[in-house]
């Protein structure tokens, strides 16, 4: 069956309102109403003045007994309502669109759409920034139901106290954090691990033994890197193994648009969410790498980074008195743990080698990343060539947007949204492409990427439950 689309009066006289009763009869269509109608039968229909309201021009009674499935076309401002049938009438007749109708409709009990099967979700590390953002997005997702919320040092404490922005939701009221144990996380369809690096691997291993069918999404770093030696070099512990990389838009070598990574995510039960800085740099540069337009051996990236990505640890450098009015570099000189992950991604996109200078700078922002990425262009590459490559790579992407030439992104425009805004230009004198890329490090940089990847693993539309609109200014 088809359902009626939005039925709008478009300036016509107020035609009353379509109100379902016990017999599911309606008396009209109100301006601006959205009406769902599955089957319409003409039995016992009569003209009714309330359908069109004052000033109605035409009232006709139909003698047709069965319309079949039909849909409404809105009142067009000419004081008439048009009913357009989808198939021919069951008795062989057709209704003319030109017939001005005012009818009382008996609407048969519509066949209810099958209920969407929700998946239960547990979040480990739900007292932190990333865990809280995951909870926020899960609570508004039509196919996910929030289950256990766990914490380490905050176990037993109120969820609303630690995540006050969620306190008004009825599923949060009165809840406390459970301990972060495999036993508390087991029994769910999905488990998010929003834990510090080095902690996810052990919990994931225990979960695999208890509940192997569960989809596990690591929002931490433990399962991102392919090379165990790179893990040991940057993280100083044993590698926990490599999971499917949670960046659907990642270009593989030879691809003009991302498809291979999405295919991998669609069949996995283990997902490793990228680092937030990694997401910004990778998405900024990969179209040029995949198209062979840039020299990946000399990539320079400087990022302005909000404090939310640094966690809630009570460290002196994270206090407002230290952060306010100051910009502070960190992870300088190639030691930042996101370096090998960026190199890994650009290599996957087709870079023969990657030379990367990466410098993040903490700025007095609660959230957001603005990455400025530059790289030499190949001989003969023009500004038009560069723009065409980025436009091709990101054409049709729900969350990645290349701004018009001359417009530069801001972090404010992405706050609360799973979007990435970027722009590029060619510094002809330096022979380098300059890409600026803005995103919310807690949404697209973390929790949004996790849910986006999970949607693919669950067979859902990739954008389900994810915000497209920022909250700026």
Would you say 186 and 207 are in contact if contact means Cβ atoms under 8 Å apart? yes
Chain center to CA of 121: 17
Q: Catalytic residue at 276?
A: yes
* CA distance readout (Å), 22 to 19, 42, 105: 10, 18, 13
For residues 345 and 11, what is the distance between their CA atoms, to the nearest angstrom? 54
Question: Could you say which of 75, 102, 276, 437 is catalytic?
Answer: 276
Those residues with Cβ within 8 angstroms of residue 373's Cβ, 6 or more apart along the chain or in another chain: 281, 284, 285, 299, 300, 301, 434, 435, 436, 437
CB atoms within 10 A of CB 29: 26
**Biggest alpha carbon–alpha carbon distance for the chain:** 83
**Token pair 């809840």 in the structure block, residue:** 175
Would you say 166 and 159 are in contact if contact means Cβ atoms under 8 Å apart? yes
CA-based torsion, 253, 258, 264, 268: positive or negative: positive
Token output for 276:
């937030």
SS3 state of residue 34: strand
Nearest to 281 by CA among 448, 445, 410: 445
Would you say 76 and 82 are in contact if contact means Cβ atoms under 8 Å apart? yes
Would you say 219 and 453 are in contact if contact means Cβ atoms under 8 Å apart? no
Q: What is the DSSP string of 225-264?
A: -S-HHHHHHHH-S------EE--TTPPPTT-SS--HHHHH
Task: Give the CA-trace dihedral at 464, 466, 468, 470, to 10 degrees.
Answer: 170
Catalytic center residues: 276
């Amino acid at each position: 069956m088809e359902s009626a689309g939005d039925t709008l009066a478009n300036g016509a006289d107020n035609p009353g309102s379509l109100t379902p009763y016990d017999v599911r009869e309606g008396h009209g269509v109100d301006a601006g109403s959205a009406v769902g109608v599955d089957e319409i039968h003409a039995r016992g229909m009569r003209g009714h003045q309330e359908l069109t309201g004052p000033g109605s021009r035409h009232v006709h009674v139909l003698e047709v007994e069965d319309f079949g499935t039909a849909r409404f076309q809105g009142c067009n401002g000419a004081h008439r309502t048009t009913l357009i049938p989808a198939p021919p009438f069951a008795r062989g007749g057709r209704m003319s669109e030109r017939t001005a109708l005012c009818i009382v409709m008996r609407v048969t009990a519509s066949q209810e759409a099958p209920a969407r099967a929700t998946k239960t979700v547990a979040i480990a590390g739900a007292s932190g920034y990333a865990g809280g953002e995951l909870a926020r997005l899960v609570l508004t997702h039509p196919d996910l139901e929030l289950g256990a919320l766990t914490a380490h040092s905050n176990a037993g404490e109120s969820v609303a106290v630690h995540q006050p922005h969620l306190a008004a939701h009825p599923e949060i009221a009165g809840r406390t954090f459970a301990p972060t144990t495999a036993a508390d996380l087991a029994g769910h369809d999905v488990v998010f691990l929003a834990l510090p690096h080095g902690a996810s691997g052990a919990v994931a291993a225990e979960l695999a033994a208890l509940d192997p069918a569960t989809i596990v999404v690591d929002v931490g770093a433990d399962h991102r890197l392919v090379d165990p030696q790179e893990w040991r070099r940057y993280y100083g512990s044993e590698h926990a193994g490599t999971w499917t990389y949670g960046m659907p838009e990642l270009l593989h070598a030879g691809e003009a648009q991302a498809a291979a990574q999405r295919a991998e995510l669609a069949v996995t039960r283990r997902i490793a969410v990228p680092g937030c800085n990694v997401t910004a740099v990778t998405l900024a540069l990969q179209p040029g790498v995949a198209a062979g337009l840039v020299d990946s051996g000399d990539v320079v990236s400087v990022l302005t980074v909000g404090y939310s990505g640094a966690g809630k640890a009570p460290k002196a450098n994270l206090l407002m008195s230290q952060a306010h009015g100051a910009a502070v570099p960190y992870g300088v000189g190639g030691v930042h743990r996101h370096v090998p992950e960026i190199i890994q991604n650009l290599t996957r996109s087709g870079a023969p080698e990657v030379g990367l200078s990466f410098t993040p700078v903490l700025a007095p922002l609660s959230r957001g990343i603005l990455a400025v990425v530059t790289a030499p262009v190949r001989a003969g590459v023009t500004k038009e060539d560069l723009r065409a490559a980025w436009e091709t790579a990101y054409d049709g992407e729900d969350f990645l947007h290349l701004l018009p030439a001359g417009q530069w992104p801001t972090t404010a425009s992405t706050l609360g949204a799973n979007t990435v805004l970027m722009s590029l230009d060619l510094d002809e004198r330096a022979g380098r492409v300059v890409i600026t890329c803005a995103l919310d490090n807690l949404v697209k940089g973390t929790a949004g990427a996790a849910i986006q990847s999970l949607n693919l693993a669950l067979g859902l539309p990739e954008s389900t439950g994810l915000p497209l609109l920022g909250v700026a200014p």
